[in-house]
C-alpha cells in the first residue's frame, strides 16, 4: 500500500525559556490527532518533542502537501498555543507560527516539514531524527556519511543493492532551487556544495538503481522566511532503512561523532550535536549543546509500530562525552569566531548599531 509519512514540527512556546515542551502541550496535541485518527484522516500518529520543539509524526493516505493534513497540523499548533502556551505563559508562545492564517499548505508558514509518500515495503523500518538548537544544514554531514561514505556504511561496498550509490537532492535555501547530484561519481561536487551548511541543504536522498526514496529532511529557514531572527529551524528528517538501504546501525553510526553545527545560544554559535534519548532531549548549558533525538518505527499498513528511542543506549555515551568535551573547548572562545558564527549567519547581532555609533570615530590609516 501507499502511505504518506508526515513529520511536522514547530516551536510554539516552552517551559523555562527555550528549554523543553510542556507535557500539557503534548497532551493537547495528542488529543487533537487522536480525533483526526478516529475521523479517518490519519492512519496513525505519535506526538513527541526534542527540546522546545513539538513534533507531530503522522501517517495517512492523503499524499504530500495535503490541505487536510497540513491544516490539521496548523490547527493543532495554533490550538496548543492558545490553550496551553499562552494560558501557562510559556516562553515564546507560538514562536514558529509566522503566518496569521492557514492558506492551504504549510510551506513558508514557519513549521518544519519532512514528508513523503511511498509504497510500504514488506518490512518498513523508518527512523525519525529531530534536532533542537540548530538548522537544517546540520543533517548534511550525517546524510553524506550514511549514503555516500563507505567508512560509515559498509553496505555501500558489500551489498549489491546499495553498490550503485545514491542521488542527493540539494537545495539552495537562498535561491529556492534544487540540484540532483549522484554519488559516488559526483562526490566532490556534492561536498563542494553541502560543506556550506547555511546555504546548501540536502532535501532528500534516492537510491540510484530504482529512484527509491531513502531519506527526506525539512529545509525551511525561518530567518529567510521572516526576514529576521525567529529562533533556529531545529530540523527533522526521516530515513528508511534495511533491505537494500543502509541498515539501522549504519544510519545511527554517523551520530557516534558529535559534529559541530550552527545554532546553540541565540542561534549564533557553533556547538557539537549531542545524540540523546528523548528523556534528555532538553537544552540546558548555554541553551544546549544542540541535541538530536531519534525514534524508530516499523510501519505496518501505515500504523506506527514503536517507537524505539534509538539513542537511549550506552553505546552513545562516548559520543555524549566527546560532545561535552567539545562544548568545554569551544565555549572557552566566548564571543570569538568560530565559536560565534560569522556575521552573515548570526541570528542576533549588534554590529550595525555599533558600527553606526562609531562611524564618526573611524579614521583612515593614511
Ligand atoms: P538487510 O540486508 O536485510 O537490511 O540486513 C543488513 C543488516 O541488518 C546488517 O546489519
Ligand atoms: P529555539 O530556536 O530552540 O527556540 O532557541 C532559540 C534561542 O535563542 C536559544 O538560545
Ligand atoms: Mg524556542
Ligand atoms: Mg528549538
Mean pLDDT of the chain: 96
The yes-or-no verdict on residue 103 having pLDDT over 90 is no
Q: Which ligand is nearest to the CA of 232?
A: 2
Mutate to test the pocket of ligand 1, among 155, 157, 248 (most ligand atoms within 8 A of CB): 155
DSSP tag of 182: E
The confidence band for 280, taking pLDDT boundaries of 50, 70 and 90, is very high
Residue burial 144-178, b: 16+ Cβ < 10 Å; e: rest: bbbbbbeebbebbeebeebeebbbbbbbebeeeee
Residue 356 has pLDDT above 90, yes or no: yes
Ligand 2 geometric centre to CA of 328 (Å): 20
Asked if residue 248 has its Cβ within 6 Å of ligand 1, the reply is no
Predicted confidence band at 195 (pLDDT cuts at 50, 70, 90)?
very high
Is pLDDT above 70 for 229? no
Residue 211: exposed, middle, or buried by beta-carbon count in 10 A (0-12, 13-18, 19+)? exposed
C-alpha cell at 211: 529512484
pLDDT tier for residue 131 given thresholds of 50, 70 and 90: very high
Closest CA to 25 of 86, 111, 116, 97: 86
Beta carbon of 123 within 6 Å of any ligand 1 atom: no
Ligand 2 probe mutation, 14, 85, 133, most atoms within 8 A of CB: 133
C-beta contacts of 31-36 below 8 A and 24+ residues apart: 32/72, 32/75, 32/76, 32/79, 32/80, 33/58, 33/72, 33/76, 36/72
Ligand 2 — pocket residues by CB below 6 A? 11, 18, 51-52, 95, 132-133, 231-232, 234, 265-267, 287
| Count of beta carbons in the 10 Å neighbourhood of residue 250 | 23
Q: Confidence band (pLDDT; 50, 70, 90) for 348?
A: confident
Q: What separation in Å is there between the alpha carbon of 231 and the centre of ligand 3?
A: 6
Instruction: List, for residues 25-37, the tens digit of each pLDDT value.
Output: 999 999 999 999 9
How confident is the model over 225-254, as a mean pLDDT? 90
Position 346 confidence tier, pLDDT thresholds 50, 70, 90: confident
Q: Which of 270, 132, 294 is nearest to 198 (CA)?
A: 270
Position 99 scores a pLDDT of 87
Mean pLDDT of 279-289: 98
pLDDT over 70 at 230, yes or no: no
Say if pTM beats, i.e. exceeds, 0.95. Answer: yes
SS3 151: coil
Amino acid at each position: 500500500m501507499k502511505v504518506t509519512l508526515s513529520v511536522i514540527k514547530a516551536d510554539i512556546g516552552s517551559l523555562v525559556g527555550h528549554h523543553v515542551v510542556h507535557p500539557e502541550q503534548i497532551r493537547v496535541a495528542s488529543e487533537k490527532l487522536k480525533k483526526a485518527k478516529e475521523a479517518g484522516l490519519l492512519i496513525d500518529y505519535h506526538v513527541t518533542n526534542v527540546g522546545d520543539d513539538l513534533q507531530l509524526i503522522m501517517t495517512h493516505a492523503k499524499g504530500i502537501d495535503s490541505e487536510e493534513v497540513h491544516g490539521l497540523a496548523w490547527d493543532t499548533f495554533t490550538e496548543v498555543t492558545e490553550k496551553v502556551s499562552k494560558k501557562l505563559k510559556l516562553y515564546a508562545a507560538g514562536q514558529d507560527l509566522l503566518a496569521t492564517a492557514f492558506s492551504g499548505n504549510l510551506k513558508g508558514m514557519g513549521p518544519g516539514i519532512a514528508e513523503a509518500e511511498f509504497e510500504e515495503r514488506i518490512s518498513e523500518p523508518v527512523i525519525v531524527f529531530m534536532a533542537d538548537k540548530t538548522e537544517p544544514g546540520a543533517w548534511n554531514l550525517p546524510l553524506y556519511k550514511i549514503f555516500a561514505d563507505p567508512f560509515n556504511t559498509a553496505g555501500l561496498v558489500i551489498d549489491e543493492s546499495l553498490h550503485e550509490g545514491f542521488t542527493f537532492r540539494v537545495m539552495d535555501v537562498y535561491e529556492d532551487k534544487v540540484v540532483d547530484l549522484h554519488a559516488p561519481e559526483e562526490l566532490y561536487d556534492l561536498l563542494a556544495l553541502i560543506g556550506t551548511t547555511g546555504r546548501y541543504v540536502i532535501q532528500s536522498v534516492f537510491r540510484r538503481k530504482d529512484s527509491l526514496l531513502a531519506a527526506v529532511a525539512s529545509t525551511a529557514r525561518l530567518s529567510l522566511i521572516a526576514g529576521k531572527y525567529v529562533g533556529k529551524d531545529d530540523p527533522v528528517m526521516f530515513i528508511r532503512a534495511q533491505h537494500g538501504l543502509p541498515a539501522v546501525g549504519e544510519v545511527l553510526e554517523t551520530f557516534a561523532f558529535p559534529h559541530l553545527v550552527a545554532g546553540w545560544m541565540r542561534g549564533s554559535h557553533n556547538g557539537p550535536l549531542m545524540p540523546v534519548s528523548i528523556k534528555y532531549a532538553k537544552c540546558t548549558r548555554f541553551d544546549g549543546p544542540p541535541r538530536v533525538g531519534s525514534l524508530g518505527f516499523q510501519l505496518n499498513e501505515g500504523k506506527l509500530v514503536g517507537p524505539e528511542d534509538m539513542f537511549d543506549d550506552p553505546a552513545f555515551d562516548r559520543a555524549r562525552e566527546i560532545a561535552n568535551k567539545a562544548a568545554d573547548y569551544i565555549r572557552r572562545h566566548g564571543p570569538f569566531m568560530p565559536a560565534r558564527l560569522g556575521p552573515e549567519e548570526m541570528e542576533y547581532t549588534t554590529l550595525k548599531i555599533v558600527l553606526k555609533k562609531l562611524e564618526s570615530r573611524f579614521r583612515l590609516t593614511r
